[in-house]
Amino acid sequence: MNSLILTGGRVVDPANKFDSVADVLIIDGKISAVGKNLSAPAGVETFDAKGKIVSPGLIDLHVHLREPGQTAKENIATGTAAAARGGFTSIVCMPNTSPAIDNAGTVALIHERAKDEGVVNVFVTGAITKGIAGEELAPIGGLKKAGIVAITDDGHCVQNNDLMRRACEYAKMFGLPIFDHCQDYSLVTDGVMHEGYWSLMLGLRGWPSAGEEMIVARNILLAELTGANIQCQHLSAAGSVALIREAKKRGVSISGEACPHHFTLTDAAVAGSEKFWAQDGKSLFTSRIKHHASSALPAWPAYDTNFKMNPPLRSAKDREAILEGLADGTIEILCSDHAPHCDYEKEVEFDYAPFGITGLETELALSLMQLVHTKRISLADMIAKFTVNPARLLNLNKGTLSIGADADVTVFDPEQEWVFTREDSASKSKNNPFFGWQLKGKAVATIVGGKVVWSEKSELVAA
């Protein structure tokens, strides 16, 4: 079935500035009508959404599916299943696979696999440079023709400024945004966590905020010079937010994204839960969510590698700056940077563990808890950062419940409390720091092209 009517939910569609209790009628995989007391044709099933939020299908524009070549960590089937459980109807996969997605043939492979094995929409990014080596431009025109939606060397950062300038010029020519992983190698060197008090106390090599801010400043200059649309990925530093805020006021085509782990946690988490709560507990969940006291959350040891990510968790000041950037519109997009790794890769000393965590299944809850339940931003604004904003950046016909649009819909309960466990996860990898945490807000159904691809429990009623 790809015809359905969702009844009685609060429909929030920022693209159309619509927020009201209403029904949503889907016919043949397209949005047919949105309004009150709609009647459905015979044979169309009913989904009771009363008491739930009905939104355009959520989009995550920063996901690592690890296919081809790294399928021990994740593959298209498991990655899209995790996305569906998290409420995401569309995801954008990164090209740092093995081999890298730097040619039309590999793009075609991903599209074919996604069509055969994926349960949500999969959009593909292409590499900026061949092999993501930062030395020679990939065939950007050919990649565009093959169907990519952006270019990025995510996981790496082009260090040659002239090469990056040429990439910007080609991206502008082909109408592609550039996603940039902002990391100055000469400043970051071999750092493994944020450079500050806790790196000194724990004896771990520090990673200064300036290592991100330097490239953000570079990207602003190149966006201004070339007119290219540059998206700075997974912002973590206060200085980066300030730079982008000032540049956007001048009309520079620069933007940024934020991940829940960077606006939920701080570098104190690497020291273990006891130190984290002692030093920074109040910054995790504000007192306005009284039932999420620290005593309700699990303990974890110092040097837990599930708190190692790139860029690293930063100070409370940096975390607050990310939250302020989200609240004032400087940061327009939310995403996960879902980065699965095998257990054995993470079960080593902190220095040697790979960077990254999974996030598709927890980002909606964490965003609701940190942004909406704390009244930092409205529910509609949060939904916009998951729907119309990323769709607009990528020129996708998604992120809306407009009549005739693809019937990609997310139904979620912002008040539902639940505990995330390893058994809950559909991802092949389990490198997530939020296992055992009491969360508030959960997707209850994910609808792609009018078809329910995941539902917490069946709310369907036969016509």
**Which residues are catalytic, by number?**
337
- What is the distance between the alpha carbons of residues 46 and 40, in angstroms, rounded to a whole number? 9
Distance from C-alpha of 168 to C-alpha of 221, rounded to nearest angstrom:
11
CA-to-CA separations, 90 to 4, 65, 127, 226, in angstroms, rounded: 19, 13, 20, 30
Rounded Cα distance between 394 and 183, Å, is: 23
3-state secondary structure of 346: helix
Residue with tokens 């074919």: 112
Asked if 151 and 123 touch (Cβ cutoff 8 Å), the reply is: no
H or E element, residue 169: helix 161-174
* Cβ atoms < 10 Å from Cβ of 211: 23
Residue 411 forms beta bridges with which residues? 54, 445
CA separation for the pair 400, 377 (Å, rounded): 20
∠ CA(214), CA(171), CA(160), 5° rounding? 40
Query: Which candidate, 120, 128, 54, places its Cα nearest to that of 92?
Result: 120
Q: Which single residue is written with the structure tokens 């690497």?
A: 270
Q: Report residue 57 CA to chain centroid gap.
A: 13
